[in-house]
Structure 1
Amino acid sequence: MSDAPRPDKVFPVSWDQFHRDTRALTWRLHEAGPFEAIVCITRGGLVPAAIVARELNVRIIETVCIASYHDYKNQGDIKVMKGVGPEITSMRGQGKGVLIVDDLVDTGKTARVVREILPAAHFATVYAKPMGRPLVDTFITEVSQDTWIYFPWDTGLSYVPPIRAGGD
């Protein structure tokens, strides 16, 4: 596991912003489709996959369950806890017509594993960091590698100190 501290830069995302960003992603995906099925990477891909599935009218939704952040702070070894079913992997040969959805591509470790499972699929994320960006076909917002994104399902309402605290 990495012992690197959590980055100082934070990017909090509200439910409203995430929904808008995911719908913007869907507009781009509409042009890239049509898609016969969606494979969402759990857990982060569940929410955007639901929005994309609704907007693109895709009814076949599968999950690939992968753990890489084991304690919400450090990215560790990739563990595939549930693979993709054969009815999806065999679609038109190695996933053609399949859309992979995740919330974020960070270092690209997870994306590489899923790309090996479905090399012909279209890969989309709402947010992308530079190290992982080359592995996705479509994304909406790029953030710097040293930024930690706080997704709405990971946060609650509380006071946040100013970026520049101290009054000087």
Structure 2
Amino acid sequence: MSDRLPHEKGFHVSWDQVHRDSRALAWRLDRQGPEGGEWRAIVAITRGGLAPAMIIARELDIRLVDTISVKSYNWQEQAPASVLKAPDPDLMRDGEGILVIDDLVDTGKTLELVRDLYPKAHFATVYAKPQGRPLVDTYITEVSQDTWIFFPWDMALQYVEPFRGS
């Protein structure tokens, strides 16, 4: 029997890795928009989608960036998804030509809510878990459903006990 907690099956992601993976996502999305290959705008799902969206906007030279704020977690506990702040409705329309960016799709509850609002948007995440993957149009890395991704914005450097103890 293991003394490890379920969230300790972790995938630790550094700032460098987020940057590399977000650039790889930008390369996959380049010239894939519906309007002659171009995208009208990026909408980042806050908070996790902000860093990847900034990198993708830079790589694809997209100047129009907005956000949608969806709350679906309290720390590591999933709660019903709700929109706290929506993007400009004149920009969004039905979502056509819009890239919706998030760091991760887990169960898909967040993307399901946003996809219902903007059915023609293109949904892209850096990381995907199997349960939410069908809601994503483009992603870079898949991890197992029981893996917890530790993003650099959630971490601090500190000593960690060796796996087999001291």
User: Please, what TM-score do these two structures have when normalized by structure 2?
Assistant: 0.90
> For residue 14 of structure 1, what is the aligned residue in structure 2?
14
Is residue 72 of structure 2 the alignment partner of residue 68 of structure 1?
Answer: yes
1:77-92 alignment, distance < 5 Å:
77-90=80-93
> For residue 23 of structure 1, what is the aligned residue in structure 2?
23
Change (3 A) 1:6 1:77: farther
Give the AA of the match of 1:65. S
| C-alpha separation in 1, matches of 2:54 and 2:121 | 18
- Is the partner of 1:130 in helix, strand or coil? coil
> For residue 41 of structure 2, what is the aligned residue in structure 1?
37
> For residue 131 of structure 1, what is the aligned residue in structure 2?
131
What's the Cα RMSD here? 1.4
- Is the partner of 2:55 in helix, strand or coil? helix
Report how far residue 32 of structure 1 moved. Answer: 1.7
* Residues 91-134 of structure 1: CA deviation (Å, up to 9, x unaligned): xxx11110000000000000000101110011000000000001
> For residue 51 of structure 2, what is the aligned residue in structure 1?
47
| C-alpha separation in 2, matches of 1:162 and 1:27 | 38
Consecutive unaligned residues of structure 2, counting only runs of 5 or more, are: none
- Is the partner of 2:76 in helix, strand or coil? coil
Consecutive unaligned residues of structure 1, counting only runs of 5 or more, are: none
- Is the partner of 2:7 in helix, strand or coil? coil
| C-alpha separation in 2, matches of 1:53 and 1:6 | 35
- Is the partner of 2:139 in helix, strand or coil? coil
Give the AA of the match of 1:86. P
User: Please, what TM-score do these two structures have when normalized by structure 1?
Assistant: 0.89
Identical pairs, percent: 58
Give the AA of the match of 2:98. V
Give the conservation status (yes or no) of the 8 Å contact 1:36–1:97: yes
* Residues 12-68 of structure 1: CA deviation (Å, up to 9, x unaligned): 100011100110111001042321100110000000000000000111111101111
Give the conservation status (yes or no) of the 8 Å contact 1:45–1:101: yes
| C-alpha separation in 1, matches of 2:6 and 2:86 | 29
Q: How many residues align?
A: 158
